[in-house]
Amino acid sequence: MQYDVHIIGGGLAGSEAAWQLARRGLKVRLSEMRGSGERSPAHQTDQLAELVCSNSFRSDDDTSNAVGLLHHEMRALDSLVMAAAAKARVPAGSALAVDRDFFSAEVEAALAGLPNLTVVRERIDTLPDAGLTIVATGPLTAESLAGSIGRATGADSLAFFDAIAPIVYRDSIDMDVAWMASRWDKGAEASFEMGGDGRDYINCPMTREQYEAFHAGLMAGEKTEFKEWEANTPYFDGCMPIEVMASRGVETLRFGPMKPVGLDNPHWATEEHPNGRWPYAVVQLRQDNKLGTLWNMVGFQTKLKHAEQVRLFRTIPGLENAEFARLGGLHRNTFLNSPTLLDRQLRLKSAPHIRFAGQITGCEGYVESSAVGLIAGLMTACELAGTDWQAPPATTALGALLSHITGDAEADSYQPMNVNFGLFPPLHDVKKKARKAAYTDRAKTDLSDWKQAAAL
């Protein structure tokens, strides 16, 4: 089949861009390396839109949270990723978490139902010389294509490290020690709507002595060594290995992934524990699939060697006999210096028939990657229709993220970024406590007006 657009990469961004284009009647070729005998260092399946690091799309609160607002805006634009996430959702309080395999299957099924979309399992080694192309190969772009991109940009790609958290089999967790609860019961209403009971996390409690021993073991544990060429590559703060956080001070984890506040342990009798029912630290696990058989260790991304992970994590109360469906790991990611290399429509300045989308542009996170894929699809559809592209207002989550990527950020210090209210035009005249709600209210109004004007 002849095609109007060639999309390279079948991850979240590529799948979303393909959906936005093909459902508008455009012919799309979607090339995905996995399934052709190739696979990246971090992927485990050949499914489109595979979720690698986590099963969570983070907060679904669209009233005072930037990523929840981004969810809202993507739904308003018929996002495939958001629709598939709704079908694959599992209880996680106010967060949007999904069954990974169910989610990917939903994305694949939706794309397979579009007759003008062809998915080809093939590795693309070089950037096409002509034809509208969207490159959405993500931060794990194959070496050959990364080399071609480097030659086309005339600049070295920046790089950073992402880490992956372990996944534990539910039936190997000792629930006589651990217990089910959400912090301060937050998100209970959303949990009930999803068939949960408001207690969506498994919590493993620690005394001060247990926590300090765990911290010491974490610091002493054998870690994966960097190759020489990786030595100066930074971590992305949103996916930092737990041992790197721990190196910042013995109490750091108690104010991060092992924070105990809002978690009252019903197993502890007051006379046995000086702090009553309140643990000194807590390890939380979040449901990873619809069956509830797999649970993700929240915030436990790590570069510990596998044997060391098993040994150390089994010292956590409740995980003494834990069996792991997946252990943690570390992988190197690459991204473009987009403010320098891309124009305001995500096109490569030196080759404007090529757009980039997803994490390779320097956004960070599943939702952000999908959102940039969505916008790239809309831009390309607009270009093919011969109409002028009008970007979403910078007051919206989509517009703020796009502005950051394509020029508002400082090119010399450009780093991967999650969507956050710091990217939005400020509301100095609104009191600080009311500011987040004001940002979301303004964004919803402006997105609605923009969508109507753009006839989307």
Residues 305 and 191 in one domain: yes
Sign of the four-CA dihedral 395, 396, 397, 403: negative
Residues 417 and 283 in one domain: no
pLDDT the model gives residue 362: 85
pLDDT the model gives residue 271: 61
Last residue of a domain, one of 332, 355, 382: 332
Q: What is the DSSP letter of 255?
A: G
Return averaged pLDDT per consecutive 10 residues of the chain, 456 residues in all. Answer: 93 98 98 80 81 89 96 98 97 93 97 97 95 91 85 68 80 94 68 62 95 96 63 59 91 95 85 74 90 88 91 97 85 80 95 96 92 98 96 96 83 74 88 92 98 93
Tokens of 280: 């000194």
pLDDT the model gives residue 272: 67
pLDDT the model gives residue 114: 97
292 is in an annotated binding site: no
Tokens of 414: 């450009």
14 is in an annotated binding site: yes
Alpha-carbon distances, residue 67 vs 12, 46, 56, 106, 180 (angstroms): 16, 28, 12, 22, 26
Last residue of a domain, one of 313, 332, 351: 332
The total number of residues written for the chain in this structure: 456
Residues 85 and 150 in one domain: yes
As for how many domains the chain has, the answer is 2
Residues 188 and 311 in one domain: yes
Count of beta carbons in the 10 Å neighbourhood of residue 206: 23
9 is in an annotated binding site: yes
pLDDT the model gives residue 233: 54
13 is in an annotated binding site: yes
Residues 377 and 251 in one domain: no
Please report, rounded to a whole number, the percentage of residues in the chain having pLDDT higher than 70. 86
Last residue of a domain, one of 270, 304, 332: 332
User: What pTM was estimated for this model as a whole?
Assistant: 0.74
Residues of the domain holding 264: 164-332
